[in-house]
Structure 1
Amino acid sequence: MFKPIVFLFLHAICDIALTTQCGKVWLTVSSLWRPIAAGNKVVDAELEVNWDLDCPPNVGYPDTIKVFTADPAHNKTIKPQLTLFILEQIRGYYRTNITVGRPSLSGGWDATGGATLPGPHCLKHYAALYKDNVILTSSCLQIWPTWMYDLRRQLGRLPIGTLMIPGTHNSGCYQHGDLTRRHAFERYLLTQDRDVWTQLVHGIRYLDIRVGYYYSMANNTTFDEEVSQVNRFWVNHDVIRVTPLMTIIKDVRNFLDVARGEVVILDFHRFPVGFEGRPSSHRRLVSILHREFGGLILKPDKGVEGLGPTLNDIWNSGRRLIICYGDKHTANEYDWLWPPMTQAWGNQQTVEGLFKYMDETITGHKRSRNSQNPLWAVMAELTPVPLDMLFEWTGGLRQMADSMNRNLTALFQDEWWKQTNIVATDFFLGNNLIDISIQSNIKKSNIAQWRL
Structure 2
Amino acid sequence: MSAINLSNISSPYLMTTTTRRRTLLLLLFITSLGTLQACPVYLTISLNGKSIEESFVEINWGPDCRNKPEWIGLFPDDPSISNTQPLARVDDLKNSTGKFITDVRIGKLRFPRGWNRDDVNTLPAEYPKGKCLDFFVASFKGMELLAVECLKILPNWMGKTENVAEVPLKSLFIPGTHASGAFNSNQKSNLIKDYAFSQHVDVWSQLIFGIRFLDMSIGINLKKSRTPPEDDNFWIVNENMLVSKLTPILKDVKRFVETSGEIVIMDFSSFPIGFYKRPDRHSDLLRVIEKEIGDLAYKRNSTTDPNFKCYELSMNDIRKTGKHLLLIYPIEELPYPDSESEILCPTWKTFSLGDMNTSASLDFMRFLFARKNDSVIQDEGWIFHAVLGLEQALNVYSKAKTTEQRASVINVKLSSWLGGPWSLTANVVAVDFFTYTNIIDIAIYANLHKAFTLANKNLTRLEIAN
Q: TM-score, normalised by structure 1?
A: 0.83
Given that 1:218 and 1:229 are in contact with CA atoms closer than 8 Å, whether structure 2 keeps it comes out as no
Equivalent residue, structure 1, for 2:174: 165
Are the structure 2 counterparts of residues 392 and 198 from structure 1 closer, same or farther at C-alpha, using a change threshold of 3 Å? farther
The change in CA–CA distance for 1:333 and 1:191 in structure 2 (over 3 A counts) is same
Partner residue in 2 for 1:432: 438
Amino acid of the structure 1 residue aligned with 2:267:
D
SS of 1:109's equivalent in the other structure is coil
Write the distance in 1 (CA, Å) between the matches of 2:45 and 2:191: 16
Partner of 1:317: helix, strand, or coil?
coil
Structure 1 residue aligned with 2:39, among 5, 20, 23?
23
How many residues of Structure 1 are paired with residues of Structure 2 in the alignment?
417
The equivalent of 2:58 in structure 1 is 48
1:65-103 CA-partner distances (Å, limit 9, x unpaired): 111111112221x12111211346432221222211341
Q: Which residue of 2 aligns with 1:132?
A: 142
Distance in 2, Cα, partners of 1:247 & 1:390: 37
Q: 1:183 to 1:428 in 2, by over 3 A?
A: farther
Tell whether the 8 Å contact from 1:218 to 1:231 is kept in structure 2 after alignment: no
Residue 4 of structure 1 is matched in structure 2 by: none
Range 113-122 or range 387-396, more displaced = 387-396
For residues 394 and 62 of structure 2, the distance between their equivalents in structure 1, rounded to whole angstroms, comes to 33
Task: Kindly provide the CA deviation profile for residues 205-226 of structure 1, in whole angstroms up to 9, marking residues without a partner as x.
Answer: 1011111123543899xxxx8x
* Paired residue secondary structure (1:110): coil
Counterpart residue number, 1:311: 315
The residue that corresponds to 2:220 in the other structure is 213
Give the residue type in structure 2 aligned to 1:31: L
2:242 is aligned to 241
2:20 corresponds in structure 1 to none
**Which range moved further: 321-330 or 192-201?**
321-330
- Cα separation, 2, equivalents of 1:300 and 1:244: 28
Identity among equivalent pairs (%) = 27
Q: CA deviation at 1:309?
A: 1.1
State the AA in 1 paired with 2:366.
D
**1:354 aligns to what?**
361
Asked if the contact 2:247/2:292 (under 8 Å) is kept, the reply is: no
- What aligned pairs does 1:167-186 form with structure 2 within 5 A after superposition? 167-177=176-186, 183=190, 186=193
Tell me which amino acid in the other structure corresponds to 1:160. Answer: L
In the TM superposition, residue 441 of structure 1 has moved relative to its aligned partner by 0.2
CA distance in 2, matches of 1:161, 1:339: 14
Structure 1: distance between partners of 2:457 and 2:276: 48
Task: Check conservation: 2:329, 2:344, Cα contact below 8 A.
Answer: yes
The letter of the residue matching 2:124 is: T
Q: Distance in 1 between matches of 2:203 and 2:242?
A: 16
Q: What secondary structure sits across from 2:176 in the alignment?
A: strand
Amino acid at match of 2:173: M
- Report the CA distance shift for 1:213/1:173 in structure 2 as closer, same or farther (over 3 A): same
Aligned counterpart in structure 2 of residue 194 of structure 1, from 198, 201, 204: 201
Matches within 5 A, 1:242-261: 242-260=243-261
In 2, the alpha carbon distance for the partners of 1:356 and 1:381 equals 15
Matched, 1:451 2:452: no
Alpha-carbon distance in structure 2 between the residues aligned to 1:349 and 1:32: 24
Letter in 1 for 2:150: C
Q: Is the 8 A contact 1:167 1:206 kept in 2?
A: yes
Q: 1: CA distance between counterparts of 2:239 and 2:378? A: 23
How far apart are 1:161 and its partner, in Å?
1.0
Distance 2:310 2:297 in 1: 20
Say whether 1:95 aligns with 2:101: yes
Q: 1:29 to 1:192 in 2, by over 3 A?
A: same
| Alignment of structure 1 residues 20-419 onto 2, 5 Å | 20=36, 22-33=38-49, 44-52=54-62, 61-76=68-83, 78-87=84-93, 89-113=95-119, 114-119=122-127, 120-151=130-161, 153-177=162-186, 183=190, 186-214=193-221, 216-217=223-224, 229-260=230-261, 262-300=262-300, 307-330=311-334, 332-364=339-371, 367-368=375-376, 374-385=380-391, 388=394, 393=399, 395-419=401-425
Deviations 1:260-300 (A, max 9, x none): 1x110110111112211221111111011112123211124
**SS of 1:241's equivalent?**
strand
- Aligned residue for 2:293, secondary structure, equals helix
Structure 2 stretches lacking a partner, 5+ long: 1-28, 459-466
Cα distance change on mapping 1:44 and 1:388 into 2, 3 Å = farther
| Counterpart Cα distance in 1 of 2:382 and 2:231 | 29
> Aligned partners of 1:420 and 1:368: how far apart in 2?
14
SS of aligned partner of 1:268: strand
Change (3 A) 1:287 1:370: farther
How many Å separate the matches in 2 of 1:415 and 1:290?
A: 39
**3-state SS of paired residue (1:171):** coil
Are the aligned partners of 1:19 and 1:137 in contact in 2 as well (CA < 8 Å)? no
For 1:441, what is the secondary structure of its paired residue? helix
**Alignment partners' CA distance in 2, 1:357 and 1:44:** 35
Q: Tell me the TM-score normalised to structure 2 length.
A: 0.81
CA 1:405–1:451: 2 relative to 1, 3 Å: same
In 1, Cα distance between equivalents of 2:396 and 2:234: 29
Cα distance in 2 for residues equivalent to 1:42 and 1:127: 19
Contact 1:230 1:288 in 2 (8 A): yes
| Structure-1 separation of matches of 2:52 and 2:298 | 43
